[in-house]
């Protein structure tokens, strides 16, 4: 045997030995796993209704798409290494009839993004982003490419413009793995460049996308993509939030899951995982997808936490699986989580399920949510219902305050294991925004989640980085700790629930038992009534702005008799002004005598000064009800004054006539930090001008310095009120404008219907008397006006007050 042959044989034997040794460490022999699968098939039913013991189901017809090993190559602790991949369920294609497009990531095995893709009758998105008017190409979960200048595409949602794009060479659709190097004339080197390249585009525009596609030989493709509107990204990472996001909010996946307890070891207070386990967002999962015959789509994740990770806390290896199922035309996602004991002894195990975060905070700098709490609400709040507390709201501002007061324990406890049964009877829990919500609900046909021993609300932010005046946009979430269950070896336990992710439409929410998410406040009766009438009018005229005007006319028309009575009362007050002035001069140094004399005069002539205030008191609940109806009603969102892409294209937001945030000072145009906001709004200016016009036209001339000063103060207050009204929704401004114009016309009309003669005469003794009360119509009956006045002005005779000089002093009573 020559030297070369000898060297080859020795090297081959050494390599074979090294390979077998490495395989034994990295991949344990498969025959040892078979008995566990057989044991898991014979699971016992858990005692808790929601802790169903089931065996793991291996994917059959579905496609296995990616994931991580059962244990890391070096330490065998848990799956934290491997290729990060993205997956989707749902679609943006109208033909698929899906309401949602959900993006997942296998590193974390959870939700990264949810887009609402519902279409209206015109084929447009029923709910789109309102903070941008540029075109939309798609969400790519892009990362800067390490080899060439460009952004690697990691996901392409079905039905997105990127998926429907066609290359000049015939290829259809941008694919995962493509590198976008240019859009139009703009070179792309970072994720931000993609958005910047589309800023000047509009929905319907066609752009050229240059990509490099890797294969055996890399080639460059030029795609033509037709842009659409931006669908509403209901859940998004803070990194993709745009101008509505604030510094301090964290980008974190939603609905993460991990072990809350192993044996007697629980997750420490203020932490998100057991000390021996990695952050749940770094856990690697394998993924498989399946499509049902009914069009439903399911994604299933599976991962293993090895024994080396659990032995330090007295545990053994476990396998976790979870699945998400979405049906067409639904906003509900069915979620199932299962844990299998791979050890040789029984283990006490519990799950922790984190809630959604990154809910859209759209318009946080101008929107004003109505809260059942005195402390108010933020742009995102945690809401829940238990039997003990009923429907409750935990404001994001409260959560931020808790985190700043105690950074080591930033969580706000909703209930704990030692709470009463009613306190732990959880009907739902979710994150609530202005017009949208994401909530966990019980499985169908159940009214309580019931499988949890602890619930807490928390912020998903670094509280030290959140700037003052931007706290309302704080990112919030919650977590649920499941009940501890003893799981025999080879057996499993699981939890099932549903997640609603969609608009706050009252009828839709009522179907799922979460109708309390829509809250009108104290004047809910008027709000519901006026909101229903508004929808009826809109169905007739086809435009919400016109419907608001018609609703204003109807409301003010019904209140015309009261307004006329107030005008009559004002005229009578003006006629009495000289007599009141005489009394004031007569009792210059006697305040008590002046008041009694004025009251005696008013009663003698049948004048009630509070009658003029009656219409105002009656208008208050109607005004507040209409205000809250316009503030809460999602149907006004993205409904235009006339043009869907022009000025005042969203009646639920300020009209945004012109953007001035790039040149106005921060204290004026800052988002949250400025007095007025980043846009010049002209509808509030019209409102203030009309208010001042009303004052000038109908305010009686000042008779003294005090009255003149009062009128000046009222004018200044009206101007200041314009500052507070500057960011109110355009729909509410339309109401104010219509109401003010009606008020001006009404006062001019009322002047023509007022009694021609004076309301007061002098009797034989020169005393002022009620002239209207002494006159009757020709047939001896009172007129309608006289009857109304008699009802409001009920006189009680009172002796006239004598001057101070003629008053009798009470006799002195000496103490005995």
Split at pLDDT 50, 70, 90, the class of 47 is very low
Which pLDDT does position 324 carry in this prediction? 98
Answer whether 416's CB lies under 8 Å from 388's CB: no
Q: Which of these ranges, 86-90, 440-444, 625-629, has the smallest mean pLDDT?
A: 625-629
Q: Would you mind telling me the total number of residues written for the chain in this entry?
A: 816
- The CA-atom distances, in angstroms, between 773 and each of 220, 473, 613, 789, 799 are 94, 61, 22, 9, 19
Mean pLDDT across the chain, nearest whole number? 81
Range 38-54 average pLDDT: 36
Specify the DSSP element, H or E, that contains 212. strand 206-213
Contact 486, 263 (CB under 8 A): no
Does position 407 have pLDDT exceeding 90, yes or no? no
**Phi and psi, residue 578, nearest 5°:** -60, -40
- Closest among 376, 310, 313, 337 to 50, alpha carbons compared: 337
- Measured N-to-C along each axis, helices 524-541 and 544-558 cross at an angle, to the nearest 10 degrees, of 130
Q: State the average pLDDT over residues 298-321.
A: 94
State the virtual CA torsion across 424, 430, 432, 437 in degrees, nearest 10. -140
The pLDDT score that the predictor gives to residue 759 is 53
How many CB atoms within 10 Å of residue 571? Answer: 17
Which range has highest mean pLDDT (189-193, 437-441, 764-768)? Answer: 437-441
- Top-confidence residue, 300 or 792: 300
Q: How many other CB atoms are there within 10 angstroms of residue 285's CB atom?
A: 26
**Contact residues for 685 (Cβ-Cβ < 8 A; gap 6+):** 722
Residue 536, phi then psi, degrees to nearest 5: -65, -45
Which among 765, 805, 797 has a CA at the least distance from the CA of 586? Answer: 805
277: tokens are 């386990």
Longest dimension (CA), the chain: 150
SS3 content of the chain, % helix, strand, coil (to 5): 35, 25, 45
Lowest mean pLDDT among 104-113, 555-564, 667-676: 555-564
Quick check: 773 pLDDT over 60? no
Q: Give the pLDDT confidence score for residue 625 in this predicted structure.
A: 80
Quick count: other Cβ atoms within 10 Å of Cβ 24?
10
- The tokens describing 677, both together, are 């906001």
181-229 pLDDT per residue, tens: 999 999 999 999 999 999 999 999 999 999 999 866 788 999 999 999 9
Q: Which of 500, 551, 692, 668 is closest to 99 using CA atoms?
A: 500
Pick from 273, 256, 260, 270: which is nearest to 453 by CA? 260
Of 695 and 614, the one with more pLDDT: 695
Q: Is the pLDDT of residue 128 over 60?
A: yes
pLDDT tens for each residue of 371-404: 888 778 899 999 999 999 999 999 999 999 999 9
Q: pLDDT at position 74, please? A: 36
């Amino acid at each position: 045997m020559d030297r070369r042959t000898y060297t080859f044989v020795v090297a081959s034997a050494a390599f074979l030995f090294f390979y077998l040794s490495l395989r034994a460490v990295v991949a344990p022999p498969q025959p040892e796993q078979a008995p566990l699968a057989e044991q898991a098939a014979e699971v016992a039913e858990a005692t808790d209704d929601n802790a169903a013991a089931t065996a793991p189901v291996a994917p059959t017809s579905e496609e296995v798409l990616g994931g991580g090993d059962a244990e890391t190559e070096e330490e065998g602790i848990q799956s934290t290494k491997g290729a990060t991949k993205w997956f989707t369920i749902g679609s943006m294609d109208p033909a698929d009839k899906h309401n949602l497009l959900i993006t997942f990531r296998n590193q974390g095995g959870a939700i990264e993004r949810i887009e609402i893709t519902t279409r209206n009758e015109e084929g447009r998105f029923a709910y789109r982003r309102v903070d941008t008017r540029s075109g939309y190409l798609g969400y790519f979960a892009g990362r800067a490419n390490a080899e060439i200048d460009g952004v690697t595409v990691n996901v392409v949602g079905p039905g997105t413009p990127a998926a429907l794009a066609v290359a000049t060479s015939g290829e259809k659709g941008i694919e995962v793995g493509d590198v976008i190097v240019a859009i139009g004339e703009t070179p792309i080197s970072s994720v931000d460049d993609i958005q910047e390249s589309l800023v000047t585009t509009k929905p319907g525009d066609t752009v050229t996308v240059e990509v490099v596609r890797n294969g055996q030989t890399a080639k460059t493709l030029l795609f033509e993509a037709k842009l659409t509107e931006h669908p509403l990204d209901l859940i998004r990472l803070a990194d993709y939030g745009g101008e509505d996001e604030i510094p301090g909010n964290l980008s974190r996946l939603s609905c993460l899951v991990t072990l809350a307890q192993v044996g007697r070891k629980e997750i420490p207070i203020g932490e998100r995982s057991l000390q021996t386990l990695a952050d749940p967002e770094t856990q690697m999962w394998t993924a498989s997808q399946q499509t049902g015959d009914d069009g439903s789509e399911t994604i299933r994740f599976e991962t293993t936490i090895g024994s080396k990770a659990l032995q330090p806390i007295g545990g053994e290896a476990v396998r976790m699986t979870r699945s998400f199922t979405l049906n067409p035309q639904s906003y509900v996602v069915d979620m199932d989580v299962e844990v299998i004991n791979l050890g040789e002894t029984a283990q006490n195990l519990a799950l922790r399920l984190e809630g959604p975060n990154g809910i859209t905070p759209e318009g946080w700098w101008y929107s004003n949510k109505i809260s059942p709490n005195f402390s108010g609400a933020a742009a995102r709040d945690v809401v829940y219902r238990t039997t003990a507390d009923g429907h409750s709201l935990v404001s994001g501002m409260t959560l931020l305050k808790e985190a700043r007061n105690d950074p080591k324990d930033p969580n706000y406890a909703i209930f704990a294991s030692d709470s009463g049964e009613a306190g732990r009877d959880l009907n739902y829990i979710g994150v609530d925004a202005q017009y949208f919500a994401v909530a966990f609900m019980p499985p169908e046909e159940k009214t309580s989640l019931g499988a949890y021993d602890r619930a807490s609300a928390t912020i998903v932010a670094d509280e030290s980085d959140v700037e003052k005046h931007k706290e309302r946009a704080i990112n919030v979430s919650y977590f649920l700790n499941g009940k501890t269950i003893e799981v025999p070896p080879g057996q499993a336990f699981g939890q099932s629930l549903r997640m609603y992710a969609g608009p706050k439409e009252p009828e839709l929410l009522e179907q799922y038992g979460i109708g309390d998410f829509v809250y009108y406040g104290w004047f809910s009766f008027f709000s519901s009534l006026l909101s229903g009438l508004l929808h009826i009018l809109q169905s007739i005229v086809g435009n919400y702005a016109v419907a608001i005007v018609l609703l204003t006319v109807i409301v003010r028309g019904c209140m015309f008799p009261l307004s006329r009575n107030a005008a009559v009362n004002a005229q009578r007050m003006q006629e009495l002004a000289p007599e009141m002035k005489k009394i004031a001069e007569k009792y210059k140094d006697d305040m008590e005598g002046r008041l009694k004399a004025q009251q005696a005069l008013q009663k003698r002539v049948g004048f009630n000064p509070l009658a003029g205030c009656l219409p105002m008191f009656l208008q208050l609940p109607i005004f507040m009800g209409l205000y809250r109806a316009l503030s809460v009603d999602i149907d006004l969102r993205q409904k235009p004054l006339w043009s869907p892409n022009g000025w005042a294209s969203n009646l639920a937001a300020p009209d945004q006539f012109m953007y001035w945030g790039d040149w106005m000072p921060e204290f004026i145009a800052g988002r949250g930090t400025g007095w007025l906001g980043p846009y010049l709004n002209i509808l509030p200016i019209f409102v203030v001008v009309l208010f001042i016009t009303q004052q000038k036209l109908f305010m009686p001339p000042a008779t003294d310095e005090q009255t003149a000063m009062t009128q000046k103060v009222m004018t200044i207050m009206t101007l200041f009120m314009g500052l507070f009204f500057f960011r109110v929704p355009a729909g509410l401004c339309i109401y104010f404008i219509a109401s003010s114009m009606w008020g001006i016309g009404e006062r001019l009309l009322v002047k023509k219907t007022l009694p021609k003669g004076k309301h007061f005469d002098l009797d034989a003794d020169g005393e002022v008397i009620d002239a209207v009360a002494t006159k009757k119509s020709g047939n001896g009956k009172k007129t309608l006006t006289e009857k109304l006045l008699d009802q409001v002005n009920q006189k009680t005779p009172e002796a006239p007050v004598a001057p101070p000089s003629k008053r009798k002093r009470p006799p002195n009573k000496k103490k005995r």
